[in-house]
Amino acid sequence: MLKVSRIFLTAALAALFLGLGACANQKVPAEQALAAIEKKFQESGAEVQKYLPDRYAEIETSIKSLRDSMEEKSYGDVVTNAAAAEDSLKRAIADARVKRAQAMVEMETEWNDLAKAMPAMITAMDKKISSQRGRPPKGMTADEWKQTVAEYDAARDSWSKAAAEITSKTFEASVAAARDAKAKISAIMEKLGVKAA
């Protein structure tokens, strides 16, 4: 009976050491897999976050889960799940780039529309301000008029800067600034009853 127990104990210990060995053998691949996906996420995550925020959140959760498995020493789970997470990240990066390309096409159209509309709006507003000769329009105090003119000047300057500085690198920021300038000038024109020629 004692001999059988020793054989069983020896077999159990051997299985345990084999299991620990296999676990230790998976530690390095698990660390490498986690490091690789974290690096890729750090490099391209901002692009995914900007154009596909829901997918970004999903991938972020997957990576957190991988980190948790690493802390729990579930190296096999890390190796297995890292491949799926990396595949998901690669697809998200590709989809985000498609989305960005679509957004750029839309922004080019928007920029062309802004470039056509803004000069006429600015001409109409400059004419209105000039015609007032420093006096506020009817129904507006001197301070209100001064504030309105200051807001218009700031928006006009913002448009001029966007138009002057637009390049392929600054394109998105320039369109956003021009869009904001147009919205502000449109609101002022509506308040004053000014129409673009």
- Give me the pLDDT at residue 16, please: 40
pLDDT band at 17 (very low <50, low <70, confident <90, very high): very low
pLDDT band at 168 (very low <50, low <70, confident <90, very high): confident
* Mean pLDDT of the region 166-184: 93
Model-wide pTM > 0.85: no
Integer-rounded Cα radius of gyration of the chain: 31
Domain boundaries, given as residue ranges, for the chain = 2-99, 102-192
- Give me the pLDDT at residue 6, please: 55
Query: Mean of the per-residue pLDDT values for the chain?
Result: 88
Cα separation, 34 vs 83, whole angstroms? 10
Q: Is the pLDDT of residue 12 over 70?
A: no
Chain centre distance of CA 101: 14
CB environment 121-151: b (16+ within 10 A), e (fewer): bbebbeebbeeeeeeebeebeeeebeebbee
Q: Which has the higher per-residue pLDDT, 129 or 3?
A: 129
Q: Are residues 152 and 127 in contact, defined by beta-carbon separation less than 8 angstroms?
A: no
Which position has the token pair 């400059």? 126
Cα separation, 136 vs 151, whole angstroms? 15
Rounded to the nearest 10 degrees, the angle between the axes of helix 53-71 and helix 2-51 is 160
Tell me the pLDDT tens digit for each residue of 80-137: 999 999 999 999 999 999 999 999 999 999 999 999 999 999 999 999 999 999 899 9
Count of residues making up the chain: 197
